[in-house]
Structure 1
């Protein structure tokens, strides 16, 4: 892999960019404080703007590492306000694998935005970073997340029963993957 760090990515409708400290209020308002968004995530709903600010401070500091890949999802026609998040949440260097996680404001569900962001990140990871495999997972009770993965060409690889934990407790994890050679 050739690590280059989080770079600005653009699609027809989106800008994927690094977080800045000033994003805390938008993140808190748009998704981090919303139970319906965090329901199937592995981090708790934020109870205050201070929690969100602390997290963003960590993320901004993380950009100093060239193997950090973490983007704020911004609509081009909506100013510079983030409406969601997408990141490489885990890497297996020796196997050249990137595991992607994402979430988006419920105001923007079912509009193809998450799929558009995921496709941009997949392309970047294969074409620029040089990973050989991308993967993601979702709670079996959250099939819409799997639809996002399928729309981007990821293949369902199986469900690991009672193998994960999220804000609902122990859950089944549905895994999807794509190899560079699948494209």
Structure 2
């Protein structure tokens, strides 16, 4: 693998880029304060943009410019501000695997935006970074997240019972994956 870090990626409607200092207000407004968005995530809605910045800023300062850190804000071109995020949340260097996590503001659900962003990240990770396997997981009570994975070519690999925890408590975890050889056939 050749780590490149969070490079700017584009699609027809989106720019995927690093977090900017000016992003904390729109991050809070567009998804960080919304219980519908965080319902199946591992963190509670933020109470203010300042709280979000205080929690998130040092993490970004410590990591954002590392070559093995991949964390994009999803910017809708027509809006010009972030409406969600997509990240590599875990790397397994030994098997060249990247696990993806994502969230999107509720105002932009069911518009194909996350599928568009995820497909672009998949292309980048396979073609430029050289990973062999990309995975993603979701709580089975959130089937829309699994639908994004399927639309992006990931295959269902199984559900582990009570193997995770999110804002709903201990939960089952459904896993999907795509291999480089699968991607190359498409």
Q: TM-score range, shorter-chain basis?
A: over 0.9
What is the TM-score of this pair, normalised by structure 2? 0.95
Q: Which residue of 1 aligns with 2:179?
A: 179
SS in 1 for 2:178: strand
SS in 1 for 2:126: helix
Confirm or deny: 8 A CA contact 2:6 2:65 kept in the other structure.
no
Aligned: 1:106 with 2:109: no
Confirm or deny: 8 A CA contact 1:156 1:174 kept in the other structure.
yes
Tell me the distance in 2 between the aligned counterparts of 1:56 and 1:73: 17
Q: Which residue of 1 aligns with 2:79?
A: 78
**Correspondence list, 1:13-92, <5 A:** 13-54=13-54, 55-79=56-80, 81-92=81-92
Q: Which residue of 2 aligns with 1:145?
A: 145
Cα RMSD over matched residues? 0.9
Tell me the distance in 1 between the aligned counterparts of 2:23 and 2:58: 10
Shift of 1:13: 0.7
Confirm or deny: 8 A CA contact 2:161 2:172 kept in the other structure.
yes
SS in 2 for 1:78: coil
Shift of 1:57: 4.2
SS in 2 for 1:85: strand
Shift of 1:42: 1.0
Shift of 1:51: 2.0
For residues 98-135 of structure 1, the C-alpha deviation after alignment (integer angstroms, 9 at most, x for no partner) is: 00000000000000000000000011000111000000
Confirm or deny: 8 A CA contact 1:21 1:57 kept in the other structure.
no
Confirm or deny: 8 A CA contact 1:19 1:60 kept in the other structure.
no
Q: Which runs of 5+ in 1 are unaligned?
A: none
Deviating above 6 A after TM superposition, structure 1's stretches of 4 or more consecutive aligned residues are none
